[in-house]
A and B are shown apart, each in its own frame.
Chain A
Amino acid sequence: MIPVECFLVLSTLLFFIGVFGFVTRRNLIAMLISIELVLNSVDINFAVFNRILYPGQLEGFFFTLFSIGVSAAETAVALAIIINVYRNYHSDQVNSIENMKF
């Protein structure tokens, strides 16, 4: 098998690419896509820690499985909110939502 550091470096890079996208983009859907990248890197970490450091147990496996389910639900709700924002403000940029600013 491949040493654990390779996987961790891969997931770290993926995480920070996601963070970079989240900071840089101002389109709501693009920000959501960046969040998906971050979530995927964390899922890789769970699976890798379970598989390579603790083979024989299944905690990380199920955490990843449930995390995939939760992120599917989260994406559905977030897209519903984005469509609603677009309907009300006719824009899909974050700057357009200013009603909740103090």
Chain B
Amino acid sequence: MANIVVFCILAVVILGSAVLSVMTKRIMRAATFLLFVLFGVAGIYFLLDYTFLGAAQISIYAGGITVMYIFAINLVSKDTLQGLVERFKGTRVAGGIVITLVGLATVGVVLLKNKFIDMSASLADAEVPMKTIGSALVGSEKYQYVLPFEFISVFLLACIIGGVMIARKEDKK
């Protein structure tokens, strides 16, 4: 019962902040509402007893990506900081609404037609033990994930180099 109450609060926070983040005109406010959405999603992970995932979400998304957004906003535009930004065009908003509703109807039909094997009633509220996660993350057996782990480290290195290459000033020839 408590779970359902927490879920409803989180859902309201997530959806409300998401709508505000998409609809607000000031870009800084959009980034702030994105932060609330990210915290809400971390709360959903905590609710699912994936504590490690929630902590990773908070530290990487809410701690890292949001800071990066705010830096980029401050670097990019003075206008947006002072609050004069894009205006919404009516035709584009109408097109967006149509696309959204069509997609929502499609996914809704698929979702309602589908019968899920619902094991939620029999599921205990127990945290996934950290030891299992750790050994699955760096083990090399079946269903263990050391190869993607290493790949993602190489990938991050490539992204650091790529980011530096793209964002640095061109030499004047």
Contact = CB atoms under 8 A, between A and B. Distances in A.
A97 interface: no
Interface of B: 3-4, 7, 11, 14-15, 18-19, 21-22, 27, 30-31, 34, 37-38, 41, 44-45, 47-50, 53, 56-57, 60-61, 64-65, 68-69, 71-73, 75-77, 80, 85-86, 88, 92-93, 95-97, 99-100, 103-104, 107-108, 111, 116-121, 123, 125, 128, 132-133, 136-137, 143, 145, 148, 152, 155-156, 159-160, 162-164, 166-167, 169
B152 A66 contact: yes
Contacts of B162: 77, 80
B88 to A, nearest CB: 7
A92 B17 CA distance: 23
B93 A76 contact: no
B128 A61 contact: yes
Contacts, number: 212
Interface of A: 1-10, 12-21, 23-27, 29-30, 32-34, 36-37, 40, 43-44, 47-48, 51-53, 55, 57-59, 61-62, 64-66, 68-77, 79-84, 86-87, 92-93
Contact of B96 (A10, A23, A55, A79): A23
Report whether over half of chain A's contact residues are helix, strand or loop; otherwise say mixed: helix
B56 to A, nearest CB: 6
Contacts of B45: 47
A61 B132 CA distance: 12
